[in-house]
Amino acid sequence: MAIASLSTLAPVSSPRLTDSHGRVIHDLRVSITDRCNYKCVYCRTGEVGPQYPELAIDDYLRLIRLFVDLGITKVRLTGGEPLLRRGLLNLIRELATLRTRSGETLDLAVTTNGHLLESLAEPLKAAGLNRVTVSMDAVDAPTFERITRVPGSFDAVLRGVRAARAAGLTPLKINCVLLRGFNDDQIEGFARFAREEEVVVRFIEFMPLEEGRLWTPEIVVGLREIVDRIHRVLPLKPLPARDAGETARRYTFADGKGEIGIIAPVTQAFCGACSRVRLTSDGKIRTCLFSQVEHDLYGRMRAGESDEELRSYVLRTVQGKEARHHIGEPGFLKPSRSMVHIGG
Ligand code: SAM
């Protein structure tokens, strides 16, 4: 495809993406659809369908290439549910041909609910995908299906997880969002699951990003509590951070087999080390999950701006990235979009 081959012309002398707080941005998350085949009760009200348009696959490709020119090394495709998106394999094939500013292939990942992964794992790997992260909020089928509101979803996702592992989409991560009194009885089961299924389980604190109004500080199950509860049944040993920007606190078990991690944006915010920027399914830049404003990159592209003009817009926009989020503080404002419409 002509667009991808232009990547060899990336202007390595152009400035890198940094913000006014001195952070280097190298991680891009792109939502490629606003649609989802699950209606997870903590994420969606169940009534609201897609709200924002999708771009053509070639348009995502052109926009992503601008970011790669500016120093992005890791691209994660998300949604909505990215496996619903027609053209996903083509997009991954083209992204796999891009090179970072130091000439390496991109670190390419997808975040998915896993429902369609069983049949797609091998084609995704063959297209050039490195890794998948699968979202699972329970390890027992009835609880899982109460959350997703889709019968048969637990077995489908388990088959998807196993197919992804067999296809070599590893390290395979499982993301679990915990809500007190709702699925926090799954914590110990997830620790066993991590070992049995040879996956890395990441517990993520619930953030005020839902369509409805569920979030309270009390509903968040914090890092300390998760670690203590697992440690009681399966003793844990902390693992050292691999780099300064690592968002998860990682642990292995006493015998060294298996890994769990905790991502604690609420109780131990890591904004100071944030290296991310997001592109929504309709081509808007979001410099923070909790941004109150969006920046219409696609609108500028459609209006005919050149790649050079668009890159300079991206640079200016990222300069203004928010210092941090304000979850739990008086006056906290929920962002204009919920997680499913931003791209988690
Ligand atoms: N459909 C894909 C999936 O299920 O992974 C990608 C989109 S989904 C919105 C991405 C992740 O965001 C999921 O792991 C989901 O559990 C998480 N998520 C949704 N709402 C959240 C919230 N309020 N706080 C923390 N994580 C949330």
Q: What is the tens place of the pLDDT at every residue in 165-222?
A: 999 999 999 999 999 999 999 999 999 999 999 999 999 999 998 888 789 999 999 9
Is ligand 1 within 6 A of the CB of residue 206? yes
Cα(31) to centroid of ligand 1, in Å? 12
| Separation between Cα atoms, residue 195 and residue 230, nearest integer Å | 13
* pLDDT, tens digit, 9 for 90 and up, residues 63-75: 999 999 999 999 9
pLDDT at residue 340, rounded to an integer: 87
Rounded Cα distance between 266 and 333, Å, is: 15
Q: Could you identify the residue written with the tokens 């309270």?
A: 216
Give the pLDDT score at 11: 54
pLDDT of residue 13: 64
* pLDDT recorded at residue 130: 98
**Which residues, given as ranges, of the chain have pLDDT below 50?**
1-9
Ligand 1, atom 10, lies closest to the CA of 344
> CA 154 to CA 316: how far, in whole Å?
44
**Residue whose CA lies nearest to ligand 1 atom number 25:** 206
Q: 339 CB under 6 A from ligand 1?
A: yes
| Ligand 1 neighbourhood includes 148 CB (under 6 angstroms) | no
Cβ-proximal residues to 32 (8 Å cutoff; 6+ apart), any chain: 54, 57, 60, 77, 78, 79, 80, 82, 85, 88, 91, 281
pLDDT at res. 12: 55
Q: Which two tokens stand for residue 300?
A: 């500028």
Q: Which of 339, 341, 344 is nearest to 42 (CA)?
A: 339
Ligand 1 pocket test, candidate residues 52, 135, 186, most atoms within 8 A of CB: 135
Identify the sign of the CA torsion 215, 218, 221, 223.
positive
Residue 229's identity, in one-letter code, is: R
The rounded distance, in Å, linking the Cα atoms of 325 and 270 is 10
* Portion of the chain with pLDDT greater than 90, in percent: 79
For residue 290 and ligand 1, the question of a CB distance below 6 A is answered with: no
Strand order in the sheet with 107-112: 236-238, 248-253, 259-263, 200-205, 173-178, 131-135, 107-112, 74-78, 27-31, 276-279, 284-286, 295-296
- Residue 278 is predicted with a pLDDT of 97
pLDDT at residue 1, as a whole number: 41
% the chain with pLDDT above 70: 96
According to the model, what pLDDT value does residue 247 have?
85
pTM score, whole prediction = 0.94
